[in-house]
Amino acid sequence: MIGTCEWTKEGAKRCTMISTPKIQKFPQDMADYEDDSFRLVCEGYQLGRKGELVPAILQAYGRDPQSLPRLFRGAFAFALYDMQQGRLTVVNDLLSKKPIFYFSSAERLIFSTSFLELADELKAREIPLTPDELGLAMMTRHGVFFDDVTYVREISYLKPYGWLQGTRALETRFLPVPERKPVSGMDALLKEMDARFGRAVRLEYLLNADENYPQYATLSAGMDSKSVFLYAYQQGFQNDVCFTYAQSGSMDMAVPQQIAADYGCKHFFFSLDNGDVIKERERIIPLNEAQMEYCGTTGVQSFLSFMDTSKAGVVHTGLGGGEIMG
C-alpha cells in the first residue's frame, strides 16, 4: 500500500491510496473500497475477526475514530480517507508487525507499508534521501529500528501503539500501553501467560485451518518456535511439515529432529554451514527490505524456495521470527 495526502486549510485533500499487496493469501482480510464518502485500503490479515471487513471498519469509525487502532489483532495496515470531513487515518496492528513508513512535511504526507516503495516514490519526486547513522547502526547491531528512526532521515517508522491521523496537518498519536494487572503469586502469573499464549497460537493456526492451508512450522533456534509447535498440538492442531536451519551436527539440529520424530511430523533440515544466506543477499534484501527479520533471512527463505508456496498460508516461526504469509 502506498498513499499520499495534501494538507489544506479545508482539511486533507487529494488523498490517493493504492493497494500494492505482495501476497494475497487471505483476500477476505484485504480491501480496496471507495464510495461517495470514504476511500479505504487494507492489507495483511486479522486474527479471529468475524463478519465483513469494510463494514466493520466504517461502523467503528462512525462510532469513534479513536477506536480503530484496537479494532483487530493480527498483522495488517489500513488507510481510511473521510472525504466529507477531510480526514485521513492510517492504522496498523499495535505491534507494527505490518510496518508503516512515512514522509511528512507541512504540505503533505506520503506513506507506505514498504520502505523501498516509499523510497522510490520520494526519489521520483526528487526529494533527497539522507542516510541516518543512528538508524543504520541500530539495524546493523540489533536488528531493529530505534524509536521512529529508519535508514534515512526523511522516512519515519510508525512505532508500536502508534497511528496517524490528519486534517490540516499530520498528527502522530499513541495509545497508552495497557497497565499491568496485579497477579497474586508466580503460579497465577504463569497460568495467565500459558492461557494467553495458547489463545494466540490457536488464532494463528485457525487462520490456516479456515482456508484449508497446511500448517508449516519451524523448530529452529530458541524455545519460542518450539513452544508454538508444541502448543499447537495442545490446541488440537497437527503440524504438517516442520523445518530447521542450523549448523550441521549441532544441538540445534539434533533436538528439532527428535521433536519432529516424537510427534510424527515431516521434517526438513537446512544447513547454514555454507553461508548461502550471504550469497543470496541480493535476492533476499528486496524480499525483507533489508530489515533484520530472523525468519526472513535464513532458513525460512530456503524452505519457501523448496516448497510449493501456492499452498502455503501463514508459516509459524515463533515469537522472535513472527509469522509470514505464503
List pLDDT tens digits, range 215-258: 988 887 677 788 888 999 988 999 998 888 888 888 888 999 99
Whether the per-residue pLDDT at 171 is higher than 70: the answer is yes
Residue 204 grid cell: 494463528
**How does residue 132 score in pLDDT terms, banded at 50, 70 and 90?**
very high
Mean pLDDT score, 128-145:
84
Residue type, 100: I
Query: What pLDDT, on a 0 to 100 scale, did the predictor assign at position 320?
Result: 47
Q: 229-239 burial, b for 16+ CB within 10 Å, e for fewer? A: bbbbeeeebeb
Mean pLDDT of the chain, nearest integer: 85
CB 303 within 8 A of CB 295: no
Phi, psi angle pair for 318, to nearest 5°: 90, -175
Residue 306 grid cell: 523448496
**How does residue 269 score in pLDDT terms, banded at 50, 70 and 90?**
confident
CATH number for the domain formed by residue range(s) 2-174 = 3.60.20.10
pTM of this structure:
0.86
Compute the radius of gyration of the chain from its Cα atoms.
Answer: 21
